[in-house]
Amino acid sequence: MVHPWTGARRREGGSATNAVWSLVVPLKPLAVAKSRLAAAVGASRPGLALAFAQDTVAGALACAAVADVVVVTDDAEAGKELARLGARIVADAPATGLNAALVHGAREIRRIRPGAAVAAMNADLPALRPPELLRVLEAASVFPRAFLADAAGIGTTLLSAAPDVELAPSFGGPSRARHSASGAAEIGIANVESVRRDVDTGADLRAALALGVGRHTARYSARMQATAYTYDSQTRSGSVLLDDGTPVPFGAPAFDAGGLRLLRPGQRVRIETDGEGPALRITLVTLQTF
């Protein structure tokens, strides 16, 4: 099968080749981002919003089908941290909202790379796994426009547009129905939970932690759960410092067989590593507190 717009020949049974995407990731100023999460995480909200964006951008840049990531934001601190991961930062047109930001980002991409295939993806996907994003983008690449519904089946986490097709975003609330009504094809593939798992509420955060989050969110969440947290990406080791300052290394026997240890009465944390990819992916499940 010849790829509809790259002309690449799809290897029989293999994946689409040469389908390269530019991603537009919108990010609100951290001071006001993730307001629905405030009830669950309190003052940690801005730090978590940044950690979500960092894991989203890092996961996207590690995906074989992604050529580049453009973050549309007015937040200088967030922009600096995300640029450090390799994203290109575009200033948001002030106070025009999410969809205008996405249109602005897509136009900026195509100003530099005319005819680029563009996909908009929310910045709140902390469990994002590159292989799952690859499958989503491959599925999207056979449609002029396509979208992926969020885990709740109400919103949208990704909207794609083939070269020379306008993105025409309509994010916000029940956007799944709007994107479908606009003619975008719904991507229905299974086993891409990490690309659907956006985090708006404490329950969403627990679900993402159970799925396994990237190191930025894991580190931040662990810091929220314990007095401090050390992590060394070089030696791929780390420890959670308990309230009394006791360092408990990851995977240490100090954790019981199931990797569970009581940090404080009623609070339980599971830390385990699946060693996936270049970064230590820490599955940190906090059963309470959020």
Ligand X SMILES: C=C(OP(=O)(O)O)C(=O)O
Ligand Y SMILES: Nc1nc2c(ncn2[C@@H]2O[C@H](COP(=O)(O)OP(=O)(O)OP(=O)(O)O)[C@@H](O)[C@H]2O)c(=O)[nH]1
Count of Cβ atoms closer than 10 Å to residue 185 Cβ? 16
79 sits near ligand Y (criterion: CB under 6 A):
no
110 sits near ligand Y (criterion: CB under 6 A):
no
Nearer to ligand Y, 33 or 218 (CB): 33
33 sits near ligand Y (criterion: CB under 6 A):
yes
173 binds, among ligand X, ligand Y, none (CB under 5 to 8 A by kind): ligand X
Distance CA 164, CA 210 (A): 39
183 sits near ligand X (criterion: CB under 6 A):
no
Tell me how many helices (H) and strands (E) the chain has. Answer: 9, 13
92 sits near ligand Y (criterion: CB under 6 A):
yes
Question: Are the beta carbons of 284 and 222 closer than 8 angstroms?
Answer: yes
Distance CA 221, CA 271 (A): 11
Q: What is the DSSP letter of 1?
A: -
Q: What is the DSSP letter of 270?
A: E
Residue 175 labelled as part of a binding site: yes
Question: Are the beta carbons of 117 and 24 closer than 8 angstroms?
Answer: no
175 sits near ligand X (criterion: CB under 6 A):
yes
State which of positions 167-226 bind ligand Y (CB under 6 A): 200
Residue 237 labelled as part of a binding site: no
Q: What is the DSSP letter of 37?
A: G
Nearer to ligand X, 172 or 183 (CB): 172
Residue 230 labelled as part of a binding site: no
Written as six digits, the tokens of 41 are 């995480």
- As measured in angstroms, the least distance from the Cβ of 37 to ligand X is 11
Select from 236, 219, 212 the least CA-distant residue to 51. 219
Question: Are the beta carbons of 48 and 41 closer than 8 angstroms?
Answer: yes
Distance CA 275, CA 290 (A): 26
Select from 137, 161, 164 the least CA-distant residue to 63. 137
150 binds, among ligand Y, ligand X, none (CB under 5 to 8 A by kind): ligand X
- As measured in angstroms, the least distance from the Cβ of 172 to ligand X is 5
Binding range to ligand Y, per CB under 6 A, among 11-19, 60-68, 94-102, 245-253: 94-102
**Per-residue binder mask for ligand Y (CB under 6 A), 12-31, x = binder:** --------------xxx---
97 sits near ligand X (criterion: CB under 6 A):
no
Q: Which of 89, 101, 128, 271 lies at the binding interface for ligand Y (CB under 6 A)?
A: 101
Count of Cβ atoms closer than 10 Å to residue 72 Cβ? 26
52 sits near ligand X (criterion: CB under 6 A):
no
Q: Which residues are annotated as a binding site for phosphoenolpyruvate?
A: 156, 172, 175
- Report the interface residues with ligand X, using CB under 6 A: 98, 150, 155-156, 171-173, 175, 198, 200
- Report the interface residues with ligand Y, using CB under 6 A: 26-28, 33-36, 72-73, 92, 97-98, 101, 122-124, 200
